Amino acid sequence: MEAIVEVYELYRNDFLHFGKKYGASREILLSAWHDAVIAFYEIALADRYDPEKSNLKTYLFTIAKYKVLDALKKEGKVVDLEKVDVTITPISPFLEEENLIIVAMYNIAKAEIEGVNKLKSFTDNAIQKGYKVIGLTSSGAAEKAQVKQDYNLSFDFYLCDEKVIKTIVRASPGIVVLNKGTVMQKAHWNDIDDVKLKDLPKSMKVKVKKDDGTLYLIDNRKGTKQEIDSISNEYIKEVYVLTERAEGDVLDSINVVDGTNYSSLVKVILNKE
């Protein structure tokens, strides 16, 4: 049991910070975290957790998130999943990218306006040259969408832990240029004009992925349309359908982690009784 206590303590405070966006009380968040860790322990004992397929922190946060949503639902509170980030994006999948530029803003509300104003021309130029550009922030979906609209930015922001972002670069915004995980350049927004970008060969430019269509989930397990169609209504607690995409929605994080390009989501939550 020592190991499970260690896991409980390891990410508890991070989850309490992450869970604030749901408007849940500390009591609900702590209860959800406790239940999530116990559920993970049982899954691990049954040898059903594969660390190569899912980051531990992301896995735990996903379980705990749904327990928070269930608790809020019982209290009669409604959470709009389109306006709330539901998955923290692990950085590791991005580290396989060649010629990657990370725009780091650990908190969009605290970002320096002069620096944000410089992002449009720099990142558009980088994209034109063939670089993949992403933003990392701990701010919510509404703030990400707003800054993207206000400054006409051509790249997407992903949710990431604030401490992790500050470890990468403390400037807000800050720029990091990587090649397969190796930092090639790093700059404060003040020095953004000093970042040297090369014209990439056409073969190295970012390719548009094919549309993988609809992702079908049964609870948190991938399934098929045929499987879902075969489930009797009496066993279904809830059905969640996402067809109209919004920047920062749950599919963004799933696609990044799995290397997929799903455009819609159907999730069935089964009755536990």
CA angle 256, 187, 249 (to 5 degrees): 25
pLDDT score for 102: 93
Spans of the chain below 50 pLDDT: 80-83, 86, 205-208
pLDDT, residue 83, reads 47
Look at residue 208 in the predicted model and tell me its pLDDT: 46
Q: In the chain, what percentage of residues exceed pLDDT 70?
A: 81
Question: What integer pLDDT is reported at residue 255 of this predicted model?
Answer: 67
pLDDT at position 159 is 80
pLDDT of residue 81: 46
The Cα angle at residue 197 between residues 99 and 88, in degrees rounded to 5: 40
pLDDT of residue 256: 63
Determine the Cα–Cα distance for residues 218 and 267; give it in Å rounded to an integer.
6
pLDDT of the residue at 23: 78
DSSP structure string for 215-272: EEEETTEE--HHHHHTS-GGGEEEEEEE-S--TT-HHHHHHHHHT----EEEEEEE--
Predicted confidence at residue 125, as pLDDT, reads 92
Residue in the block written with tokens 């060969």: 201
Closest alpha carbon to 105 in 77, 128, 139: 139
137/124 Cα distance (integer angstroms): 19
Tens digits of residue pLDDT in 203-229: 554 444 566 788 888 887 888 888 888
Q: How far apart are CA 89 and CA 144, in angstroms?
A: 14
Strand order, beta sheet including 132-137? 156-159, 132-137, 100-104, 174-179, 182-188
Which domains occur in the chain, in start order? Answer: 2-74 (no CATH), 92-204 (3.40.30.10), 214-270 (no CATH)
- d(CA 206, CA 258) in angstroms, rounded, equals 17
- 216 vs 225: CA distance, rounded Å: 6
